[in-house]
Amino acid sequence: MKDTKAMNKDLILREKLALQRTVLANQSTFLAFLRTSMYFLIAGLSLRNLLKVENSLFIEIALFITSFVIFILGTLNYFKHKKSISENKKHIGDYQLEYYEL
């Protein structure tokens, strides 16, 4: 009986650690989206000043829009997965998962 309790505690600990790794991976992914968005923003800002490309207004606007879209998609992705992680947190130690389609 004691072996079963110890095994269940080990399983619950593993699940909690896996959940924490998932949270950290979600945060890391958001930071990658943010970094990419900032690269496009900096490219748009430096196009006219650093490279002095003629008629660069359209390219700058395209880079700014791309930066904004990447930032919005990254933010939506982060909160969607954060919600999913918090909803599945209740299953730790339960072993009866609810499967659902998004």
Q: What pLDDT sits at residue 91?
A: 65
Q: What pLDDT sits at residue 71?
A: 97
The low-confidence residues of the chain, meaning pLDDT below 70, are 1-11, 91-102
Whole-Å CA distances, 49 to 28, 41, 44, 57, 65: 32, 13, 10, 12, 19
* Tokens encoding 102: 């998004």
Q: Are the C-beta atoms of residues 95 and 47 closer than 8 Å to each other?
A: no
d(CA 27, CA 95): 26
Q: What pLDDT sits at residue 12?
A: 75
Write down the pTM of the prediction. 0.74
Q: What pLDDT sits at residue 3?
A: 57
Q: What pLDDT sits at residue 64?
A: 95
Q: Are the C-beta atoms of residues 91 and 68 closer than 8 Å to each other?
A: no
Q: What pLDDT sits at residue 72?
A: 98
Q: What pLDDT sits at residue 89?
A: 75
